[in-house]
């Protein structure tokens, strides 16, 4: 089914005013009813555009039919919400998402040789553009792990000298860049480590009309790490990207900022606390309600204090 039946917008429509207005549209990942409603409630409260991001693993976990059923039942304003495939690794999965009703797909050919990344990205563009579905591609490689499908133990910065040609040849609508962020909870050895703004500036100069995307942008709020460890968890040395660095990236054409780990931390911290302090609870709705609330609060905080996307709808 086409995404217009679900009142969704493509990401081209959401990212253009973001880049012009100096804010970023958050792409928050979800994988069940609770995480979806946490994000949508945050979007409603803040009047922010939001990209609902679904990884290949999350798509498999929910199943396409249940996922689209939840979207069909959700309430949001026209022009507010995009449904986006995060890190599609093949033409087939991008086509599947597009046919299902997604309004945007990412084809992630970053692990491929550049010529194959270009030809496969272009193949996806030629298909999805027929339905006015947006395409995001990636150049450079991010270190870290998001899920079994998306992980790398190497990091390769995006080469600013080839971005113009890449965008032209692939017909991509937005470009994910590697400037030092990484997927997962272990991003920085020290809080002072800086992103490569010199590279980002060059990229923005070379492709001034292309919205840029920052993956691996969680800041890993330390209050959640502490709470998880206080109530039985064991997470060491988790450290994210400082919000001030994300804000600086947003001022340099980053119009879409991807966040998943922060939501996982908020959700898990609330569950651990609820179960540890209420040992008699066994109704999942009780601890999931708290988890949903905490994740929503974190999304609101990031929309207001990092993305700057509140009141844009």
Nearer to ligand 13P by Cβ, of 81 and 185: the residue is 185
Cβ proximity to ligand 13P: between 120 and 262 the closer is 262
Computed on alpha carbons and rounded to an integer, the radius of gyration of the chain in Å comes to 18
Query: Which x/- pattern, by CB under 6 A, does the window 241-270 give for ligand 13P?
Result: -----------------xxxxx--------
* Cβ count within 10 A of residue 191: 10
Minimum CB separation of residue 181 from ligand 13P in Å reads: 7
Three-state secondary structure of 249-291 = HHCCCEEEEEECHHHHHHHHHHHHHHHHHCCCCCCHHHHHHHH
Check: CB of residue 133 under 8 Å from CB of residue 171: no
Closer residue to ligand 13P (CB): 29 or 35: 29
How many residues touch ligand 13P (CB under 6 A)?
14
How far is 174 from 255, CA to CA, in rounded Å?
A: 9
Residue 180 or 184 with smaller CB distance to ligand 13P: 184
Which residue from 84, 188, 215, 272 is in contact with ligand 13P, where contact means CB under 6 A?
A: 215
Residue 35 engages ligand 13P in binding (rule: CB under 6 A): no
Q: Which is nearer to ligand 13P, 29 or 309 (CB)?
A: 29
CB-nearer residue toward ligand 13P: 5 or 51: 51
Burial class (CB in 10 A: 0-12, 13-18, 19+), 130: exposed
86 has catalytic annotation: yes
Query: For the chain, where are the alpha helices, taking DSSP H only?
Result: 11-21, 33-46, 56-62, 64-73, 91-100, 114-128, 163-170, 197-206, 222-230, 243-250, 261-277, 284-302
Q: How far is the CB of 67 from ligand 13P (least distance, A)?
A: 17
The phi-psi region of residue 244 (left if phi > 0; otherwise alpha if psi is between -120 and 50; otherwise beta) is alpha
Among candidate residues 65, 86, 147, 153, the one labeled active-site is: 86
- Least Å distance, CB 220 to ligand 13P, is 8
Burial of 234 (0-12, 13-18, 19+ CB in 10 A): exposed
Give which of 128, 87, 123, 129 is closest to 108, Cα–Cα.
87
Using CB under 6 A, which of 12, 84, 89, 183 touches ligand 13P? 183
Q: Which stretch binds ligand 13P (CB under 6 A): 118-126, 153-161, 192-200, 212-220?
A: 212-220
Residue whose C-alpha is closest to residue 167's, from 216, 199, 116, 122: 122
Closest approach, Cβ 195 to ligand 13P, in A, equals 13
Find the binding residues for ligand 13P in span 129-168 (CB under 6 A).
146
> Cβ of residue 18: shortest distance to ligand 13P, in angstroms?
17
Considering only 184, 211, 308, 310, the residue that binds ligand 13P (CB under 6 A) is 184
Question: In the stretch 65-104, what mask flags binding to ligand 13P with x, by CB under 6 A?
Answer: ---------------------x------------------
Q: By CB under 6 A, tell whether 217 contacts ligand 13P.
A: yes
- What is the rounded distance in angstroms from the CA atom of residue 154 to the CA atom of residue 168? 27
**CA 35 vs CA 32, 205, 266: distances in Å:** 6, 37, 11
Q: Using the structure block, give the residue that is written with the tokens 């309004």.
A: 103
Q: Looking at the annotation, which residues are catalytic?
A: 86
Chain positions contacting ligand 13P, by CB under 6 A: 29, 86, 146, 183-184, 215-218, 258-262
């Amino acid at each position: 089914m086409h995404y217009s039946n679900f009142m969704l917008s493509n990401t081209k429509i959401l990212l253009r005013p973001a880049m012009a207005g100096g804010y970023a549209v958050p792409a928050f990942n979800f994988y069940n009813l609770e995480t979806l409603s946490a994000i949508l409630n945050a979007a409603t409260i803040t009047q922010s555009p939001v990209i609902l991001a679904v990884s290949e693993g999350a798509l498999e976990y929910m199943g396409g039919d249940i996922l689209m059923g939840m979207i069909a039942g959700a309430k949001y304003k026209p022009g507010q919400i995009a449904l986006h495939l995060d890190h599609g690794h093949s033409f087939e999965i991008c086509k599947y998402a597009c046919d299902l009703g997604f309004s945007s797909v990412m084809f992630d050919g970053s692990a491929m040789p550049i010529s194959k990344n270009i030809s496969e990205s272009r193949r996806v563009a030629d298909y999805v553009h027929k339905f006015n579905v947006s395409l995001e591609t990636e150049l450079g490689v991010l270190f870290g792990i998001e899920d079994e499908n998306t992980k790398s133990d190497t990091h390769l910065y995006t080469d600013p000298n080839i971005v113009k040609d890449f965008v032209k040849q692939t017909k991509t609508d937005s470009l994910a860049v590697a400037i030092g962020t990484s997927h997962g909870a272990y991003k920085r050895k020290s809080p002072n480590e800086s992103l490569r703004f010199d590279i980002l500036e060059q990229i923005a100069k070379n492709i001034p009309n292309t919205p840029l995307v920052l993956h691996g942008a969680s800041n890993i709020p330390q209050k959640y790490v502490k709470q998880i460890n206080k109530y039985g968890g064991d997470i060491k040395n988790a450290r994210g990207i400082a919000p001030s660095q994300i804000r600086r990236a947003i001022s340099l054409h980053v119009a879409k900022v991807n966040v998943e780990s922060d939501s996982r931390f908020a959700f898990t911290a609330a569950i651990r606390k609820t179960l540890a302090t209420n040992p008699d609870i066994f109704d999942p709705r009780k601890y999931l309600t708290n988890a949903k609330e905490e994740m929503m609060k974190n999304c609101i905080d990031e929309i207001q204090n990092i993305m700057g996307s509140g009141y844009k709808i």
